[in-house]
A and B are shown apart, each in its own frame.
Chain A
C-alpha cells in the first residue's frame, strides 16, 4: 500500500516515530514502501511502520548465513543448527528449527518441530518489562537519595559550597559507596539491556534514561549534577515504569507444532498444536495452550494454561504455573504433575481427568 495517510493525533503530547517504510510529510505520515502497515503505541510513543516481507526459499544454514530483517520473514525450509533468525515483524517457518535462535518483535509460527532452540516473540515487550522492573527499583532508591541529599543541604556541619562548585556528584559518589550500594548494579543492568537490545528499543525516553544513568552514576565526570537533573530523571523513570505494567500484546504470539528441549518466550499467547511439548521452558505473557502432550519442563501462561495431557509416568517433573487470578485446565494429568497458581504450589498425588485448578482462599482448589 503506497501513499497511505495516517492523520496525526491531536490533544496530548505524543512522541511519534515514523519508522521503517514511513515518513513525515507535513502533519501526516506517509508510507514510502509497499508492505503491511503497522501502528504501535506504548505510553506516549506512537510508532508507524510498514512491514516489508523477506521470503527465504531454502534452509537457513551456514551457506545462507543468519537472517536479520526489519520486517516479516518467511522461511520455506528449515532452520539448521546454530543459526539465528531475527525479524522486526513476524516470522513464519515452514519446517523444523534445530539448535537455533529465533527472535521476532511480533509473532512466530513454525509448522515444524522446535528442537533445542530458543524462540522469542515480542522481544520489545519482554525487554520493556525487564526494564520496567529495574526502573521501579531504581526510582524508589532515587527517591530516598533525593531525601538524603536534601537533608545534607540542611545539615549544619556540611560545607554547602561544594554544591556550588562541584554539584551533587561528590555526594552521590559517597552515597553509592554504601548507603545505595546496589544502585550502580541496577543502573548498569539497565544500560546493558538498552545497549544489547538497541534494535528492539529505540524510543527516546528509554535511551535518555540510559544516558543519564551513565553520566550521573556510572562514569566519573566533571558534569555538575543538580537537583533538577535528579528530579527530572526520577520523573522520567516513573512515567516509563507506568507504561510497562505487563500488557498482553495480541500481535506477539507463538504457534509451533511441537517443542523439545527448547525455550519459548512470548509476550502474548503460546500455542503448541502438534505432538507435544517435551522438557521445554515456556513463558507466555498471554494464554498457553498445549493441544497434546506436555512432559517435563516448566511452563507458564500468565493468563491461564490449558493442556490436553500433562506429566509423565516416570522421571522428570512437569511444572505448570499461572498467575493467581487464572486457571490451569488439564484433560488428563499424571500423578506427580506440579501445579502453581500465584504463590501456591500443589503436586498431584494421583492421576486426574478433566480438572480445572484455581486458587481458593489461600490454597489451590481442584475443580472437576
Chain B
C-alpha cells in the first residue's frame, strides 16, 4: 500500500511517500499524484518511508520522470533508503531516469 502527504512551498511541490511502491500503487500514482505533479515546475519526492519497490513500481517511477521531463519540469527524489538504492543500481535506474534525479 502506498500513502502520501503533500505540501506546497513556494513553487515546489513536496511529496512524502510512505509504504510500498508496487503494482498496487498504479491507481494512486496515475490518478492522484501524476496530474498534480504535472502542474508544478518542480517536484520533490521524499522516499524516506518507502520500504519496498518492485518492477511495476519502478516502471511507474520511470513514467513519472519521463512525463515531467517532457514538459521541462524538474523532479528530485530524496532520502532513498540503502536497500532500495541497491535495487535501483541493479537495473541502472540512475541511467534510465537521469543522474540528476536521485539525490
Which A residues fall within an 8 A CB radius of B?
Answer: 148, 151-152, 155-159, 161-162, 165-166, 170-171, 173-175, 177-179
> Is A161 within 8 A of B22, CB to CB?
yes
Q: Which residues of B contact A175 (CB under 8 A)?
A: 91
Q: Which residues of A contact B51 (CB under 8 A)?
A: 157
> Is B53 within 8 A of A157, CB to CB?
yes
> Which one of B32-40, B55-63, B71-79 contacts A?
B55-63
28 A-B pairs with CB atoms under 8 Å apart are: A148-B90, A148-B91, A151-B90, A152-B87, A152-B90, A155-B87, A156-B86, A157-B51, A157-B81, A157-B86, A157-B87, A158-B53, A158-B87, A159-B20, A159-B57, A161-B22, A162-B54, A162-B56, A170-B54, A171-B54, A173-B55, A173-B59, A177-B96, A178-B91, A178-B92, A178-B95, A179-B90, A179-B91
Q: Which residues of A contact B83 (CB under 8 A)?
A: 155-157
B14 at the interface (CB under 8 A from A): no
Q: Which residues of A contact B22 (CB under 8 A)?
A: 159, 161-162
> Is B86 within 8 A of A155, CB to CB?
yes
- Expressed in whole angstroms, the Cα–Cα distance for A152 and B89 within the complex equals 11
Chain B's nearest CB lies how many Å from the CB of A284? 43
Closest B residue, CB atoms, query A151: B90
Most chain A Cβ neighbours within 10 Å, of B52, B53, B59: B52
Most chain B Cβ neighbours within 10 Å, of A151, A155, A157, A179: A157
B23 at the interface (CB under 8 A from A): yes
Q: Which residues of B contact A178 (CB under 8 A)?
A: 91-92, 95-96
- Expressed in whole angstroms, the Cα–Cα distance for A134 and B92 within the complex equals 24
Given A157-B87, A161-B22, A162-B23, is A171 in contact with B55 using a C-beta cutoff of 8 Å? yes
Chain A's nearest CB lies how many Å from the CB of B67? 16
> Is A166 within 8 A of B52, CB to CB?
no
> Is A166 within 8 A of B56, CB to CB?
yes
Closest A residue, CB atoms, query B52: A159
Closest B residue, CB atoms, query A160: B54
Closest A residue, CB atoms, query B51: A157
Closest B residue, CB atoms, query A179: B92
Q: Which residues of B contact A151 (CB under 8 A)?
A: 90
B62's contact among A157, A159, A177, A179, by CB below 8 Å, is which? A177
Closest B residue, CB atoms, query A170: B55
A159's contact among B54, B86, B92, B96, by CB below 8 Å, is which? B54
Chain B's nearest CB lies how many Å from the CB of A140? 18
- Expressed in whole angstroms, the Cα–Cα distance for A165 and B23 within the complex equals 10
B84 at the interface (CB under 8 A from A): yes
- Expressed in whole angstroms, the Cα–Cα distance for A157 and B57 within the complex equals 12
Chain A's nearest CB lies how many Å from the CB of B92? 4
Q: Which residues of B contact A173 (CB under 8 A)?
A: 55, 59
Q: Which residues of B contact A177 (CB under 8 A)?
A: 62, 91, 96
Chain B's nearest CB lies how many Å from the CB of A9? 46
A157's contact among B23, B52, B59, B92, by CB below 8 Å, is which? B52
Interface contacts beyond A158-B87, A161-B22, A177-B96: sample of 16 additional A-B pairs, CB < 8 Å, sorted by A = A148-B90, A148-B91, A152-B87, A152-B90, A155-B86, A157-B51, A159-B52, A162-B56, A170-B56, A171-B54, A171-B55, A174-B62, A175-B91, A177-B62, A177-B91, A179-B90
- Expressed in whole angstroms, the Cα–Cα distance for A152 and B56 within the complex equals 14
Closest A residue, CB atoms, query B82: A157
- Expressed in whole angstroms, the Cα–Cα distance for A162 and B56 within the complex equals 8
Most chain A Cβ neighbours within 10 Å, of B55, B59, B62, B86: B55
Given A152-B90, A174-B91, is A158 in contact with B62 using a C-beta cutoff of 8 Å? no
- Expressed in whole angstroms, the Cα–Cα distance for A177 and B93 within the complex equals 9
Q: Which residues of A contact B92 (CB under 8 A)?
A: 178-179
Q: Which residues of A contact B90 (CB under 8 A)?
A: 148, 151-152, 155, 179
Closest A residue, CB atoms, query B22: A159
- Expressed in whole angstroms, the Cα–Cα distance for A303 and B22 within the complex equals 57
